[in-house]
Amino acid sequence: MIRFKKGLSAALTLMLTVSVLAACSDNSNSPAPQETKASETQSPGNEGAPNQTDEQGVETAPFKDGKYDPAIPMNIVVPIGDDTMYFNGETAEKNILFDQFKENLGLDINVLWTAPTKNEGFKTKLLLSLSSGEKLPDVINTMGDVELTNLLIESGKFMDLTDHIDKYASEGVKRVYDENPELFHSVTRDGKIMALPIPAWGPNGAPNMYVRQDWLDKLQLKAPTTIKELEAVMEAFVNNDPDGNNVKDTVGLAVQLKNPTSEVIADATALYGAFGVLPSNWAKSEDGQSLIYDPIQPEMKTALSTFRSWMEKGYISKDAPQQDGGTAAQLFTSGKAGIIFGPNWLPYWPLPDLAVNVPGAEFKVYPIPVGENGKAERRVFSLVGASVLVNKDYKHPDAVFKYADVMFTLANVGGIWDLDTKSLMDKGYMEEGAGSNYHVVKYGFMPNYFVDPWYQIDGYLDLMLAGKPGRSPGEQEGFDNCLSNPQCIDGQIESMKVWKAQQDADVMSLYSGPVTPTQKTQGDFLSKMEYETQMKIIFGTAPVEEFDVFVEKWKSGGGDKITEEVNEWYRANILKQ
């Protein structure tokens, strides 16, 4: 199984105080504060302008002084999330973002239709448009929806962008792709790049371990570093009355097993990872020439057997298979559980509730425990935060890359034209305290976090903690906000340090290709069987040996065929590179 290296990352789900509102919305594409390298800042007299050049013969329409003249059209569709906010009487069709693009870039943006993201409304309307033969937009952002991206690519109605990236992308955008080539894996078909992948905005979902420090101190225990030590600490937390109420009413670990592959609060993946497997994960075989499915490996049986014993001993709640992350976290914040796993933003929410509910209670962040082999593993999500497809009939693909460079400039400089935070707030476009320009960017089709996912993290850990200034006004603003907030400097930054020190434990599934033919017909059935078998074993309603029965059923029920299809993609798209 490969580990996440620099350039193999995905999003920092909450980035410092000003990003909490964005990340708590139903749109996972909400941006964080972004920074810039010194080499990417704009030259004097050109502050806030994208890196556009007037190269004769490159653009598909007359382009002079940084804009198309006359303006060229671009038809889009707009997803409306619960957090989409329009100001000053503006609408999805007429707003400051589109006015700025027309005035400064000569791009005349027209909205064909809008649809809510809630209950997959946007996705459903888009697929209906595709099947009915209705006019499709010039560009579409699938917002990271892998299934939707695959369906659109398979329709044959969208453009091969391979040569266009080389021809039209700015040097800054190219640099992001050069440093993160894995971005292209999920959107490449037969060697052709069929969508413009937008990187997620920081390492996403990697869990740390948070422990009740006051319980450790009271029981004279050290924080666990191995899975065996974790068991010993959980034993003490359950049986040695750590809360001092003379009642046996505590559990060792707050964990959710309802959604083991998707939720990040009360995450169980680091526990599976201590045994060398992860839920729903495709990993390298020992020879590196193929992919294997972790949930059918012998190590998964060992993990499930261990979790079963933890359930029997009361180390984890018997409600864990029915609990989601929020419910499980309440065990910790109410003072009934001593350990919880989750991302680096937990010190913002929900862990501060612990001190409110239990005066004097303290938690501290620690690395995840290693297994008997001395290794640790934990799940992280895909590097792709969004995918932009271009209609093959669109006459101006270069304009899509001009748009992308504006988003790159926003990400790395913090503002462009009149779209910086101060200008927007002065004009009434921002609610007081919102703290970023992500609201108006959401009116368009591309998010404004087009940046090397690791660069922003390095800024906080390498510059801010050393007392050095930010590399851009936007980064300095983020530094100032963090330094004035104890939850940031004493909470999230410490958690980020712990996470980064154990970065090699981060594992991303190595299959990022399209849904295979057999996955389409058998995938739901096999996933349901997999989950139900695991929960029955953990809960004790089926013997551990039931795992072997499941493996045989999985293989004969389509799993072997899926493995074959997955490896056809892996050989063609990864091993050949």
Q: How many CB atoms lie within 10 A of CB 265?
A: 25
Largest CA distance in the chain: 80
Q: Is-contact 429 88, C-beta < 8 A? A: yes
User: Going along 164-229, which residue ranges are E strands?
Assistant: 188-189, 192-193, 196-199, 208-212
Lowest mean pLDDT, pick from 240-254, 430-444, 529-543: 430-444
pLDDT of residue 528 exceeding 60, the answer is yes
- Confidence at 152, pLDDT banded by 50, 70, 90: very high
Name, of 91-105, 159-173, 197-211, 294-308, the range with top average pLDDT.
Answer: 294-308
Per-residue confidence at 492, pLDDT binned at 50, 70, 90? confident
How far apart are alpha carbons 408 and 472 in whole angstroms?
14
Pick the CATH number of 56-201+382-463 from 2.60.110.10, 3.40.50.1820, 1.10.645.10, 3.40.190.10: 3.40.190.10
Q: What is the model's pLDDT at position 306?
A: 97
Neighbour-count burial of 75, counting CB atoms closer than 10 A to its CB (0-12 exposed, 13-18 middle, 19+ buried): middle
Where residue 515 falls (left for φ over 0; alpha for ψ -120 to 50; beta otherwise) is beta
Say if 56-201+382-463 and 207-379+480-513 have the same CATH topology: yes
Residue 18 has pLDDT above 50, yes or no: no
The yes-or-no verdict on residue 42 having pLDDT over 70 is no
Pinpoint the alpha helices (H) of 444-516: 453-458, 473-483, 486-487, 493-501
The pLDDT of residue 477: 79
Q: How many CB atoms lie within 10 A of CB 4?
A: 21
Percentage of residues of the chain with pLDDT beyond 90: 54
Q: Does residue 424 or residue 289 have the better pLDDT?
A: 289
- pLDDT tens, residue by residue, 532-577: 999 999 999 999 999 999 999 999 999 999 999 999 989 887 877 6
Q: How far apart are CA 567 and CA 296, in angstroms?
A: 16
Higher-pLDDT residue of 283 and 58 is 283
82-113 burial, b for 16+ CB within 10 Å, e for fewer?
ebbbbeeebebeebbbbebbeebbbbbbebeb
- CATH number given to 207-379+480-513: 3.40.190.10
- pLDDT-derived band of residue 47, with 50, 70 and 90 as boundaries? very low
Helix, strand, or coil here: 113?
A: strand
Average model confidence (pLDDT) across the chain = 85
Domain boundaries, the chain: 56-201+382-463, 207-379+480-513
Q: Residue 387: is its pLDDT beyond 60?
A: yes
Q: Quick: pLDDT tens for 274-313.
A: 999 999 999 999 999 999 999 999 999 999 999 999 999 9
Whole-angstrom distance, CA of residue 461 vs CA of residue 449 = 19
Q: What is the pLDDT of residue 54?
A: 42
Each residue's pLDDT tens digit, 182-238: 888 888 888 899 999 988 766 668 899 999 999 999 999 999 999 999 999 999 999
pLDDT of residue 390: 97
